[in-house]
């Protein structure tokens, strides 16, 4: 989920703004987010850079239109909603915080895109323990910076093989966070934006 550990001045600044959809059929529309210290909305500039890399990079063969996205720790759905706006066929949102889920539901309803989405109010490892029939092209992970479940999430996805041949896993982490993904992911590229880093990889 998009959350916590940013200095207070950052979340106060975020509360003054609306989160916007950058491109696609919903371009310019805004989405609601939680106005408290526990959440840190994915910055529009970072989100835009992620999608630009997916679209324009020669490294990835991902077509967002008609893709399936698994948005883990989804928060209020900023990443997945952007994907739907750009033509994604389906997004599964997984978020354990009920307040975030309620806000996500309002966003989907306001934008009339509920038919493109499934929401699971669940811990990520509980969701991944289910019988998942879909295979995904894009995985997005935005866990709390101190979260210790991410490595296990990646291992479960690898073991279940719920990814298409052409896929990408995108992970939003604090720049200083040290993670070991080598058992599950081949890291393709890492980009840094302020205190954050975005990791692009593929399951092995």
What DSSP character marks residue 41? Answer: P
CA 186 to the chain's CA centroid: 19
Rounded CA-CA distance 202/168 in Å is: 5
Strand partners, 4: none
**List of E strands, the chain:** 19-20, 30-31, 68-72, 90-95, 117-121, 136-141, 163-174, 185-193, 196-203
What is the pLDDT of the chain when averaged over all its residues?
A: 88
pLDDT score at 59 = 85
Q: Report whether pLDDT(184) > 60.
A: yes
Distance separating alpha carbons of residues 31 and 48, to the nearest angstrom:
15
User: Domain spanning 8-203: which superfamily?
Assistant: Vaccinia Virus protein VP39 (3.40.50.150)
Give the H or E element holding residue 121: strand 117-121
> Torsion over CA of 89, 114, 162 and 201, rounded to 10 degrees?
70
pLDDT at position 43 is 87
Residue range 99-120, pLDDT digits in tens = 999 999 999 999 999 999 999 9
| Domain ranges within the chain, ordered by starting residue | 8-203
pTM: 0.88
Q: Which of 43-47, 59-63, 64-68, 79-83 has the lowest mean pLDDT?
A: 59-63
For residue 95, give the nearest of 131, 129, 70, 69 by alpha carbon.
70
Q: If we measure between CA atoms, which residue out of 131, 132, 124, 133 comes closest to residue 152?
A: 124
User: CA 185, CA 203: separation in Å to the nearest integer?
Assistant: 5
């Amino acid at each position: 989920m998009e959350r916590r550990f940013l200095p207070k001045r950052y979340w106060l600044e975020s509360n003054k703004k609306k989160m916007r959809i950058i491109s696609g059929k919903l371009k310019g529309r805004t989405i609601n987010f939680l106005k408290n210290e526990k959440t840190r909305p994915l910055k529009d500039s970072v989100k835009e850079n992620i999608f630009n890399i997916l679209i324009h990079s020669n490294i990835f063969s991902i077509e967002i239109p008609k893709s399936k996205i698994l948005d883990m720790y989804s928060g209020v759905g900023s990443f997945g909603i952007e994907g739907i706006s750009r033509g994604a066929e389906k997004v599964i949102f997984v978020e354990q915080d009920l307040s975030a889920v309620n806000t996500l539901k309002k966003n989907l309803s306001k934008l009339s895109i509920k038919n493109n989405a499934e929401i699971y109010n669940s811990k990520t490892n509980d969701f991944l323990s289910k019988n998942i029939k879909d295979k995904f092209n894009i995985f997005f992970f935005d866990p709390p910076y101190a979260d210790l479940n991410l490595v296990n999430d990646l291992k479960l996805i690898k073991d279940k093989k719920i990814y298409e041949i052409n896929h990408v896993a995108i992970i939003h982490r604090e720049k200083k966070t040290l993670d070991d993904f080598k058992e599950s992911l081949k890291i393709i590229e890492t980009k840094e934006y302020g205190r954050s880093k975005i990791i692009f990889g593929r399951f092995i």
